[in-house]
Structure 1
Amino acid sequence: MEKTIPGTEVVQTAGPTAGRIPTQRGESLLETAVRYAEERHWDVFPGTWLEAVGGVHRCSCGDAACAAPGAHPAREDWVTEATGSATVARRMWQKQPKASILLPTGRTFDAVSVPETAGFLALARMERLGLTLGPVTLTPDRRMEFFVLPGAAAKVPDLVRRLGWFPATLDLAALGEGAYVAAPPTRFGSRGAVQWACRPTPANRWLPDAEELISPLAYACGRER
């Protein structure tokens, strides 16, 4: 089933093709990373990647117990490595075409992260309220990340308190400066790929403020406690 919220495209399709990244068929990680920088003006940086070892896909970091295999920064200085230049992005992925696509938060957007079940509940409520969304990712570790205007990380705890919740009691986190999200079609080991729950479109280029979305998100997380 596919639903549409005003101002964006919301994909809620059952099965393995749910929320596929809106790319041209056969588009490479390099081409996708360049498009994010060129079309959305997002900063991007290459992360780790997956390597086949004895028939098993392992993270290029070499840690057999890696918590996010193929989907975390490959360098400690990733903050300074991130770029909004399509030319520089192309050069970086030409060096390692299998590298994951990571997007730093706290620059062109912050992200509000909630459990997948709460995220879909919030999306349904947002549709009823007629709210306009930015892009939303769905990760293999069953999280949804709502892109909002920068500055959300600093004010979300206070917004949650105003709604009558203690931030520590809700599985809701705001990602800002110094954090990052993995972008489609980055893969998390054997768990699958990051997908779009709400794909980027020209209509949602302008992001909502966290204050516009926090009520349905907090309500949904409260229901999931």
Structure 2
Amino acid sequence: MVFTPGQVIMHRNTRRGRIGWVRPARVVSDDERGLLLWIARHTPVVNEVSGDGRGMRTMPFAEFVTLGTSLKHGTWDGPGVLKLHRPGDPAHSVWWFRNDADQFTGWYVNLERPAIRWSDPGGASGVDVTDEDLDIIVAPDRSWQWKDEEEFAERVAIPEHYWVDDEVAVREEGLRVVKEIEAGAFPFDGTWTDFMPPAEWELPDLPPGWDRPALR
């Protein structure tokens, strides 16, 4: 399945068969370098929250799992972000962060289960991932640090509710990417750090089918 530049697809995170978040994204390219997506500021999004409407990160995970969940509509209020799913379905994606002046501020390695592509005839298309929470922040000079280690450890300690099956494999995938970061290899070589979306791209909508059952 190949997506078309300019096409709007649903970038979804799923957790144990539930939707964690949905972000409509524009396809920048889908080629031998991977699937490159653009999420613009003010894009409508949906996020899983607790049954009382709070976000997962506003409370201990042990409390979150006792409250039930619901889906809350909102918007992507930060600067636009590029996301790359690389060929071969590795267990991560690479994001390009920028500031409010649209200046590149660094990369973000999102450790996750490989993306699964889907398309509904006459409706939505997209990719489903499962975010595995441990991440890597990479500065423009390619210095790096782990992110969310405490959060990762807290959730791993509650395996009956957590969606990460192999803590060691997640960290090993991160260390594999670190070798590319330190070598300045693609995509950490400056590619797309000056990307600007076409002016004619309008904000996408959430089409019918955005909430289809998770593939994983």
Higher relative contact order (CA 8 A, sep 6+): 1
Q: Which has the higher strand share?
A: 2
Q: Which has the higher helix share?
A: 1
Same fold, judged at TM 0.5 (above): no
Normalised to the residue count of structure 2, the TM-score between the two structures is: 0.25
Normalised to the residue count of structure 1, the TM-score between the two structures is: 0.25
